[in-house]
Amino acid sequence: MLDAAFSIPLVALSDIGRVISLMFIGAGLLWILIRSLRAKEVDRRIVFLFIFIAVAAPILFPITFQERATLIVRKVFDKVESLPAGSKVLLAFDFDPAMAPEVQPMADAISRHCLTKGHNVIFMTLWATGQALLTQSLERVVKGEFPENRDGVDYINLGFKAGNENVLNIIVTDFRMMFPTDVNGVPLDSTSIFDDVRSCKDLDLIISIGGGKPGVKEWVLYVGDRVNVPMGAGVAAVVAPQLYPYYPKQLLGLLGGVKGAAEYESELVRQYPHLEERGTPGLRMMGPQTLAHMVIMAFIVIGNISFFISRRRERKR
């Protein structure tokens, strides 16, 4: 039963290393299961070994699991997917380097998705430390993968503005008052992307990615609640539980932690298989996480089986 879990076409087995390590884990678990059917306890060092392999194998031979997006994530994906080409999407990069490993994969995946669909994307950040990360994503995803897209026409980078929620308070009615120019000093009036965008009201979708303050909560309170523009969000895993109450009314969907990023990536890759080679860091990080979780769950099941068997034997005596 347990090794069956690993032979479901969950995994794209293409590499011998993967096959061997997965077979090792599967066969090992089976062996332990048989042993525990004879009511033998597993030495903790064997548990340690399994965890080590479960984490190391997917790192050495990248294993990605096919995630299926939960509703809360798919809502965001479907929104981006259903908007007509040329829609105006605002992406806020409200995070710092400490949070980046968790949320930057989301930001990249969403940017990639928007540009693939031909949306016009407006990038900005409320975090001084987010500026560098925004530039990073811009160089890598926007300029690197979509060289044909033109700055000011297909996308624009407004950069960082100090003032936290006050910035939101203003752009909700007028972008140009807070951002007379984009990050390069080009006046907004001279960019075609801002031709018919005066305030946040004129956007088609706002996605806030962050995990601190100012962040998603501020975007909801100062912008989302005041204008009738759908809002999506991506946050670090620890913050996610505090934001669930906003879903589905104030937030149309929410991506939480590496798992949220991985779910979005998987949905994206399923829709646009050619994007897979562009990198799926969320899915890649989920590999070891998932395998380790599965090993732990397998051990919990095995532990309980051996517990029940030994208890039954005791009763028989």
Partner 1 sequence: MSSHPMTSRPLYFIILSFLFTFFPSCGGSSIALAQAEPIDIATTQMIPDSEQVVVEPVTSLIAADHKYDDGGMIDLSWVPSIDDQLVASRVIGYKVYRIEDEGEPEMISELAPGSNTYNDQSVERGKLYSYFVSTLSINAETPSVRTAPIEPQREWLNYELLNVLIMALVLGGAVIYFIETARRGKKLFVRKIAGLEAVDEAIGRATEMGRPILFIPGILDMDDVQTLAALTILGRVARIIADYDTKIFMPVSRSLVMTAGRETIKASYQAAGRPDAYSDDMVTYITDEQFGYVAAVDGIMVREKPATCFLLGAFFAESLILAETGNSVGAIQIAGTARPAQLPFFIAACDFTLIGEELFAASAYLSGEPKQMGSLKGQDVGKAIAMAAILIGILTVTIGDAWNVEWIQNITTGLVDVFSTR
Partner 2 sequence: MKRQVPIIITFLIGMIMIFSFFIPPLEGLEQTCSLFFDVIAVFAFFLGGGNLMRIHVNKLRRRKKDWGFSIVTLGGFFIMLAAGLLKIGNPGGIAASPTTEGSLLQEIFTYVFLPLQSTMYALLAFFVASASYRAFRAKNREATILLIAAFVILLGRTPFGMLLTGWIPESFSVLQVPNMAIWIMNSPNLAGQRAIMIGIGLGVISMSLRLILGIERTYLGDESA
Partner 3 sequence: MEHFALWLGGFLTLGIFSFLYKDNPWYKLTEAIYVGISAGYFVVVYFWDNFYSKFWVGVFPHKRLNEAGELVAGVEPDYWLIIGGVLGLLMLMRLLPKVGWISRWPLAFIVGATAGLWLINYFASFVMVQIQNTVTPLFGADYNASLFVIVGNIVVAVGTFTGLIYFFFSKEHKGAFGSAARVGIFFLMITFGASFGYTVMSRMSLLIGRIDFLFGDWLGMIR
Contact residues: partner 1, CB under 8 A:
44, 163, 166-167, 169-170, 172-174, 177, 199
CB 94, min distance to partner 2, A: 23
Residue placing its CB nearer to partner 3 in the complex, 51 or 186: 51
| Binder of residue 70, out of partner 2, partner 1, partner 3, none (CB less than 5 to 8 A by kind) | partner 2
Selected binder of partner 2 within 153, 300, 312, 313 (CB under 8 A): 300
Q: Which is nearer to partner 2, 186 or 305 (CB)?
A: 305
Task: Identify what 170 binds: partner 1, partner 2, partner 3, none; CB under 5 to 8 Å per kind.
Answer: partner 1
Question: Residue 56 binds what, of partner 1, partner 2, partner 3, none (CB under 5 to 8 Å, by partner type)?
Answer: partner 3
Site for partner 2 in 214-253 (CB under 8 A): 241, 244-245
Residues at the interface with partner 3 (CB under 8 A)? 45, 48, 51-52, 55-56, 59-60, 237, 257-259, 285, 288-289, 292-293, 296
At residue 155, φ and ψ (nearest 5 deg) are -155, 165
With CB under 5 to 8 Å by kind, the binding choice for 60 among partner 3, partner 2, partner 1, none is partner 3
* Shortest separation between residue 262's beta carbon and partner 1, angstroms: 25
Q: How many CB atoms lie within 10 A of CB 149?
A: 15
Peptide bond into 214 cis (omega under 30): yes
42 binds, among partner 1, partner 3, partner 2, none (CB under 5 to 8 A by kind): partner 2
Task: For partner 3, give the closer residue by CB, 73 or 200.
Answer: 73
Decide: is 181 part of the binding site for partner 2 (CB under 8 A): no
- Residue 52 found at the interface with partner 2 (CB under 8 A): yes
